Amino acid sequence: MLDSLLADPLLEDLSWSIMIVPPSGTPLLHDPDRLLRTASVGKLFLLTRTAELITEGSLDPAEELSRSTVEPVADSGLWQHLRTDTLPIADIATLIGAASDNWATNVLLRRVGLDSVQRLAATLCDGGSQLWDAVRDHRGPDQPETLSTGCARDFVTLLAAAHHGSLVNRRVSQLLLDWLAPSFDLSMVASAFDLDPLAHVPSGAALAARNKTGTDDGVRADVGLLSGPAGSLTYAVVCNFSDPSALGAVMATMRELGELAVRSVSTSPKTGTVPDSV
């Protein structure tokens, strides 16, 4: 199914890593182990390590951190538009989950430590997905080439573990999911969910989503969880491309994959009804 979708001539010369695990449990795969640039998706490792330190008692979620400890960084995020210079760690993590806040990322990364984050990522991800650096407005020749790299299988594994409460432990899993719940970016796979981008995990809703996206020149990535009446689905879709004119086709394809995801969690694929168990 995925191979036929990606056979579109408009998608030639694009690199994909895709894994979608529907309630039926039979995954849809396209190069799920292929490592590609994933931009801000790698911030998941920072959030997971932060949650782990909080649950260990090594980090106080109420501890105030100042953004003056790092250089300002532009693009995604809200903190650059706020007047306050200090925020508690819990709020900083929420800014990262909600708005992929770059300045908040660098402040929290300075407190937690890149080495610490990388060690955890190496433990969690057999496929080599990793956060390589802080966010930078410009990258020099002596700096990592990209913020993060990853493969679909690693991110599906991580999010599935969080969903089942086994990402390190149940409290770490819940903290990560709580931070991802307000994610604003529903522009890629999640565009098909037709949810309010500012409120999409309401109690009792037909569909609920949590996701993390990554956007950079030639990079679009969306990894997440989608829950519906027929069960829950985990997905990771990563695309790298060199031709800017391919962006429209990339986004359209990601939406098609999202539509497939919605169908999978809405009704039983065989009977058109909600299954007894998932």
Task: Indicate whether 272 belongs to any domain.
Answer: no
Q: From the centroid of its chain, how far is CA 234?
A: 11
Residue 47, domain extent: 2-266
For residue 55, the 8-state DSSP code is H
CA distance 208 to 147: 29
DSSP run (H or E) holding 17: strand 15-21
CA distance 246 to 106: 31
Helical residues (DSSP H) of the chain, grouped into ranges: 2-5, 43-56, 89-99, 102-112, 114-124, 152-163, 170-180, 247-266
Mean pLDDT over 105-131 rounds to 98
CATH for 12:
3.40.710.10
Global confidence as pTM: 0.93
Mean pLDDT over 7-19 rounds to 89
The number of domains in the chain is 1
Which has more confidence, 201 or 187?
Answer: 187
Task: Indicate whether 30 belongs to any domain.
Answer: yes
Task: Indicate whether 273 belongs to any domain.
Answer: no
Task: Indicate whether 271 belongs to any domain.
Answer: no
Task: Indicate whether 275 belongs to any domain.
Answer: no
| pLDDT for the residue numbered 278 | 24
Got the DSSP string for 145-177?
Answer: SSSEEE-HHHHHHHHHHHHTT-SSSHHHHHHHH
Q: Is the predicted pLDDT of residue 277 greater than 50, yes or no?
A: no
Task: Indicate whether 36 belongs to any domain.
Answer: yes
Got the DSSP string for 169-206?
Answer: SHHHHHHHHHHHTT----SSGGGGG---TT----TT-S
Task: Indicate whether 21 belongs to any domain.
Answer: yes
Answer for the pair 68, 130: CB distance below 8 angstroms, yes or no. no
**Alpha-carbon Rg of the chain, whole angstroms?**
18
| pLDDT for the residue numbered 272 | 39
Task: Indicate whether 129 belongs to any domain.
Answer: yes
| pLDDT for the residue numbered 268 | 56
Per-residue pLDDT tens for 133-149? 999 998 889 999 999 99
Q: Look-up: residue for tokens 């080439």?
A: 145
